[in-house]
Amino acid sequence: MRVAAVLALYRGIGWGLKPLLPVFLGRRLKRGKEHPHRWRERLGVPGLPRPNGPLVWLHGASVGESLALLPLVAALRAARPDLVLLVTTGTVTSAALMGERLPPGVLHQFIPIDAPWAVDRFLAHWQPDLVLWTESDLWPTILTRLKARGTPAVLLNGRLSDRSFQRWQLAKPIIRHLLGCFSDVLARGEEDAARFRALGAVRVQAVGNLKLAADPLPVDGLALAEARALLGDRPIVVAASTHPGEEGLIAEAHRALLADFPDLLTIIAPRHPNRGPELAADLAAPCRSQGAGIPRGGLYIADTMGELGLWYRLARVAVIGGSFIPHGGQNPTEAARLGVPVLFGPHMENFRDESEGLLAEGRAQQVSEEALAATLTRLLRTQVPPRGAEISESNALTATLAVLLPRLPEKA
């Protein structure tokens, strides 16, 4: 089937589902997956008026992608204060974080569902002059509608995991068409750049990873001071962004370490905070969302949003979740940027460039399940208490700006 026919069928399904989508969103709303007051934005209904002036639309699908946009937002505001900047995300969690961290005057909306009527409503209201897309969240209707309108778009921090690359190779004509909607593809590294070229992208550059240029995770200074006063120099391990099947492994390693470190505190921050109460029950551990304060030792379930910066600043060692199961890992740079030694398991395919860079620099170690406890023991014996050091990396931001600044819309 030709690309045009496939995309026409996709759009037709979007039209056909129009009566059902409010019901679908209503069910997601009951599960906390949509914002109770802003869910209509997902249907393309604007939640804010459009200010006058040229508008740049930046999209980051979820928390990691949207946080990586923050340094770029600040740089664009400094270079072109006349621009209207609109940031879209797709999750309630990322929207909450953007509400806290976007500078005053920068707008946030939920990205519309990729159905023609929702996308057209969104674009008719916001009328972007330039679109900056991140990573690999490629929505056919949005991209093809932008191209039809003549709106330039740039793919930022482009990445293709092993799985995504293999899947797209089975549909090369479609991905070639979608990548053709971008005037430029700025990839995280040479491997990603080569994959984009192999799938048909034309103007591809490897400029580095914007996530490495992101600001260090924020922290409440008072909460940090109180936690350090409570915990002193005791050994603390933070297992961050864990997935089902990993928390038991962490708990087992914790028990194995108690003979050498009887005052050990292991903080488990699950990738999906709604799992916190269940984990607390399974592991017989206090749970932060249920009102439990930080204990002086044992296991602790840290299932609240926006506090990973606190936990990393307390940690002597960080264990990165999603890496001991075939998930592909989670972002290891947030801990490393705060000077915390990082451990991760054998599955870091989704963050290969980042993990390989940290391994080469001696800021991370890759371990098996069997070696986790022994490696933690060695690090806890040698690692000094955290000093809160922050490591800055801005090469990717500088290279990205060099490409974007000439492409910004003209002043009104």
| Contact call for residues 275 and 240 (beta carbons, < 8 A) | no
Q: Render pLDDT for 301-325 as a digit per residue (tens, 0 to 9).
A: 999 988 999 999 999 999 999 999 9
Per-residue pLDDT at 41 exceeds 70: yes
**Structural domain contains residue 389:** no
* Contact present, 268 and 250 (Cβ < 8 Å): yes
User: How many domains is the chain built from?
Assistant: 2
Looking at the fold, whether 344 and 402 belong to one and the same domain comes out as: no
Choosing from 34, 41, 65, 246, which is the catalytic residue? Answer: 65
The CATH number of residue 181's host domain is 3.40.50.11720
- Per the CB < 8 A criterion, the answer to whether 68 and 41 are in contact is no
State how far the Cα of 117 lies from the Cα of 11, in Å rounded to an integer.
9
For residue 1, the model assigns a pLDDT of: 59
DSSP secondary structure letters along 182-234: -SEEEESSHHHHHHHHHTT-SSEEE---GGGTSPPPP--HHHHHHHHHHHTT-
What CATH number did the domain enclosing 249 receive? 3.40.50.2000
Domain assignment present for residue 387? The answer is no
Shared-domain flag, residues 311 and 236: yes
In a domain, 346, yes or no: yes
Percent of the chain surpassing pLDDT 90? 69
| Same domain, residue pair 262 and 203 | no
Q: Are residues 403 and 368 in the same domain?
A: no
Q: Which of 12-26, 227-241, 340-354 ranks highest by mean pLDDT?
A: 227-241
Rounded to an integer, the average pLDDT of 109-117 is: 95
Banded model confidence at residue 20, pLDDT cuts 50, 70, 90: confident
Mean pLDDT of 211-223: 84
Range of the domain at 282: 221-382
Asked, for residue 185, whether it belongs to a domain, the answer is: yes
pLDDT higher than 80, residue 206: yes
CB 44 within 8 A of CB 117: yes
**Domain shared by 173 and 318, yes or no:** no
Domain match, 225 and 371 both: yes
- Averaged pLDDT, 220-248: 95
* Residue 343 confidence (pLDDT): 98
Q: What is the mean pLDDT of the chain?
A: 91
Residue 354 appears among annotated catalytic residues: no
In a domain, 307, yes or no: yes
Task: Check whether residue 209 and residue 225 sit in a common domain.
Answer: no
- pLDDT for 263-287, tens place per residue? 999 999 999 999 999 999 999 999 9
- Write the single-letter amino acid at 35: H
Residue 392 has pLDDT above 60, yes or no: no
Specify whether the CB–CB gap between 3 and 100 falls below 8 A.
no
pLDDT tens digit sequence for 64-87: 788 889 999 999 999 999 999 999
Are both 189 and 235 inside the same structural domain?
no
Segment 18-47 shows an average pLDDT of 88
Confidence of residue 232 (pLDDT cuts 50, 70, 90): very high
Note whether 198 and 273 are same-domain residues.
no
Given a cut of 80, is residue 91 above it in pLDDT?
yes
| Count of CA atoms in the C-beta half-sphere (13 A) of 66 | 25
- Tell me the H-state helices in 268-327: 276-283, 308-314
Q: How much of the chain exceeds pLDDT 70, in percent?
A: 97
Residue 264 has phi, psi (to 5 degrees) of: -60, 135
Based on the domain organization, do 99 and 203 belong to the same domain?
yes
Is 412 among the domain residues?
no
Q: Is 390 contained in some domain?
A: no
The amino acid sitting at 178 is L
Q: Are residues 161 and 39 in the same domain?
A: yes
Q: Quick one: 375 and 403 in the same domain?
A: no
